[in-house]
């Protein structure tokens, strides 16, 4: 990738240090220049990938703030110091996608974003003490934290006929906890406020204590149905730190595994949308197909959820010629049945009546909030990490990026249906072209003293693993699941719809609570 010369000149004039690290441009700047520099990159089309902090007081005598942006396929990492007790200038008035990132930094590091329009807690439980910050290096995670009763302050809308409907955090059925507070006037939803954090587990803090080979196991459990994508991103980050490369055969196997994961997730989401429109037959047929893919996963790898496959330096399981032939045979049958299912769903007038025009997220809002994956693509935002920042064997694959413009439940359904078709094609290409050779490179040496970044396109969209390495374990490990980028989009998408349509809109977003609540 080549960086725009004009942008480079602007960045250079505000940078204290500029360094090319492969695909990544590392830019160190002053605290006073940080917001202006990020804003300049954002205004010329830079998409905010992450905003996070590190505690480097032991070496740099300060905390450090990192903003990662994607500008026209080029990744830019902007870093500046932040001092304890000195508020930093909020990016949110200029870059709306920074909203939850800054609230998370405030919770986890105790650094205050000056000028943030909504500085309420985000990640930690409501009774967590306000002077205890889990991601500081001097925080002892082994001690019991005294709890202080405190009530979270929800936003309230007032007016004649306006009332609130609280839903959750405990729900009927098998679903993770999340609180949804609707403000309604009659039937239409005027506003929705989402409150999460109920399954926060301290994953990033735990990762700082775990050797790299055990960190793969932790990554697989960030969000259960995204085990392959998270573990692949973790492994790729560590491989960057140790300057090792997985064998070409392993890259092809990773690609196959990642697409199998996309398949069973999209099949489940498409079936869930059919179920929430009371279209029971295709919903049942879809869940049968999902189960068949899960069984295929177990036969191929030993794990329904594709765990223990990715490892640092490659993969643990090979796909021999017999398995390849059998997998291709299964895929042909699955594809035929899927085409019948999708035809039944998308030719139903009653279903189309429910999904067309429901839960609209505009392209402007999707872009402004930094939405990713099928949610963004259904609103016309053309991003996909497999194409924009290719990894594994994706540079050798030919595939289409499905796009829709209407941003409603219909569009999100069509995008997923088209992506299932592309996944079938990618797996077939990978099996046809897979080279001979080993499946793992030896994991040795010492980590380089720089940051490492890995982006992977999961079924819900782009996820990120970013690290600063130490000899045996990460010094800092930042994880950003795609759901973290998309929840605020759901708040906007339901406005104007009626409350009974919320389950359908919610299912079309298909967001992970655990992935969000690290």
Return the SS3 of 183: strand
Please list, in sequence order, all residues whose beta carbon lies within 8 angstroms of the beta carbon of residue 505, skipping any fewer than 6 positions away: 358, 359, 409, 490, 493, 494, 497
Q: Helix or strand or coil: residue 302?
A: coil
Give the integer Cα–Cα distance in Å for 348 and 135. Answer: 51
Contact call for residues 517 and 178 (beta carbons, < 8 A): no
Please give the backbone phi and psi of residue 19, each rounded to the nearest 5 degrees, phi first.
Answer: -145, 130
**Cα 54 from Cα 187, distance rounded (Å):** 45
The rounded distance, in Å, linking the Cα atoms of 470 and 215 is: 13
Mean pLDDT of 424-430: 98
DSSP character for 11?
H
- Rounded to whole angstroms, the Cα distance separating 15 from 273 reads 48
Per residue, what are the HEC states of 390-429?
CCCCHHHCCCCCCCCCCCCHHHHHHHHHHHHHHHHHHHHH
Q: In this structure, are residues 14 and 39 in contact, taking their beta carbons and an 8 Å threshold? A: no
What is residue 436's DSSP assignment? P
List all residues 6 or more positions away from 509 whose beta carbon is below 8 Å from its beta carbon: 359, 375, 412, 486, 489, 490, 493
Domain 5-95, CATH class in plain words: alpha beta
In this predicted structure, what is the pLDDT of residue 270?
98
Mapping DSSP onto H, E and C, the string for 467-486 reads EEECCCCEEEEEEECHHHHH
Is the separation of the CB atoms in 186 and 161 below 8 Å?
yes
Q: Where in the chain is the domain with CATH 3.30.460.80?
A: 5-95
Contact of 398 with 512, CB cutoff 8 Å: no
As given in the structure block, the two tokens for residue 105 are 């930094």
Burial letters 96-113, b for 16+ CB under 10 A, else e: bbbbbbbbbbbbbbbbbb
Class of domain 203-313+320-516: mainly alpha
Parts of the chain belonging to CATH 1.10.645.10: 203-313+320-516
- Tell me the pLDDT tens digit for each residue of 16-58: 999 888 789 999 999 999 999 999 999 999 999 999 999 999 9
Strands 189-195 vs 179-185: parallel, antiparallel or unpaired: antiparallel
- The answer on pLDDT for 1 being more than 50 is no
Contact 253, 235 (CB under 8 A): no
pLDDT (tens digit, 9 = 90+) per residue, 101-127?
999 999 999 999 999 999 999 998 888
pLDDT digits (tens, 9 = 90+) for 251-275: 999 999 999 999 999 999 999 999 9
Mean pLDDT of 144-171: 89
pLDDT in tens, 375-408: 999 999 999 999 999 999 999 999 999 999 999 9
Q: How far is CA 255 from the centre of its chain?
A: 18
Distances (CA, A) of 377 to 94, 145, 374, 383, 390: 23, 42, 5, 7, 18
* pLDDT, tens digit (0-9, with 9 covering 90-100), for 318-377: 999 999 999 999 999 999 999 999 999 999 999 999 999 999 999 999 999 999 999 999
**Mean pLDDT taken over the chain:** 95
pLDDT computed for residue 2 by the predictor: 57
Asked if 141 contacts 156 with a C-beta cutoff of 8 angstroms, the reply is no
Percentage of the residues of the chain whose pLDDT score is greater than 90: 85
**516 closest CA partner among 213, 234, 194:** 194
């Amino acid at each position: 990738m080549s960086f725009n010369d004009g942008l480079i000149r602007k960045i250079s004039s505000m940078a204290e240090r500029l360094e090319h690290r492969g695909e990544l441009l590392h830019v160190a700047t002053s605290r006073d220049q940080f917001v202006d520099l990020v804003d300049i990159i954002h205004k010329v089309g830079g998409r905010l990938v992450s905003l996070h902090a590190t505690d480097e007081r032991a070496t740099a005598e300060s905390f450090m703030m990192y903003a990662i942006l994607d500008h026209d396929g080029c990744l830019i990492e902007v870093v500046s110091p932040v001092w304890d007790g000195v508020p930093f200038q909020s990016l949110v008035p200029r870059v709306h996608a920074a909203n939850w990132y800054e609230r998370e930094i405030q919770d986890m590091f105790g650094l205050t974003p000056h000028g943030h329009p909504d500085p309420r807690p985000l990640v930690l439980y409501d009774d967590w003490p306000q002077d205890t910050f889990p991601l500081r290096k001097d925080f002892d995670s082994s001690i019991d934290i005294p709890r202080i009763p405190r009530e979270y302050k929800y936003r309230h809308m007032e007016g004649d006929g306006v009332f609130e409907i609280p839903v959750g955090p405990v729900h009927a059925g098998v679903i993770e906890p999340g609180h949804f507070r609707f403000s309604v006037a009659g039937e239409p939803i005027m506003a929705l406020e989402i409150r999460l954090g109920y399954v926060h587990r301290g994953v990033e803090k735990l990762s700082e204590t775990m050797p790299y080979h055990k960190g793969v196991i932790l990554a697989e459990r960030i969000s259960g149905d995204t085990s392959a994508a998270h573990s692949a991103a973790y492994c790729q980050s560590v491989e960057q730190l140790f300057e090792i490369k997985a064998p070409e055969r392993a890259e092809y196997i990773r690609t196959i595994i990642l697409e199998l994961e996309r398949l069973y997730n999209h099949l489940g989401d498409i079936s869930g949308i059919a179920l929430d429109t009371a279209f029971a037959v295709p919903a049942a047929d879809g869940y049968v197909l999902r189960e068949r893919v899960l069984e295929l996963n177990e036969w191929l790898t030993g794990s329904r959820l594709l765990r223990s496959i990715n490892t640092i330096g490659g993969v643990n399981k090979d796909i021999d010629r017999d398995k390849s032939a059998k997998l291709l045979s299964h895929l042909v049958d699955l594809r035929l049945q899927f085409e019948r299912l999708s035809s039944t769903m998308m030719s139903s007038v009653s279903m189309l009546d429910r999904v067309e025009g429901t839960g609209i997220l505009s392209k402007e809002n999707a872009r402004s909030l930094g939405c990713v994956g099928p949610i963004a693509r259904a609103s016309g935002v053309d991003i996909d990490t497999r194409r924009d920042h290719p990894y594994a064997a994706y540079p050798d694959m030919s595939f289409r990026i499905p796009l829709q413009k209407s941003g409603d439940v219909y569009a999100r359904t069509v995008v997923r249906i088209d992506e299932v078709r592309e996944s079938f094609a990618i797996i077939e290409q990978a099996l046809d072209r897979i080279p001979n050779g080993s499946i793992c490179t030896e994991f040795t040496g010492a980590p380089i003293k720089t940051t490492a970044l890995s982006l992977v396109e999961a079924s819900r969209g782009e996820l990120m693993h970013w690290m600063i390495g130490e000899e045996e374990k990460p010094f800092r490990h930042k994880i950003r699941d795609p759901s973290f980028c998309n929840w605020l989009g759901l708040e906007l998408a339901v406005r104007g719809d009626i409350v009974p349509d919320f389950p359908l809109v919610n299912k079309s977003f298909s967001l992970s609570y655990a992935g969000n609540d690290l």
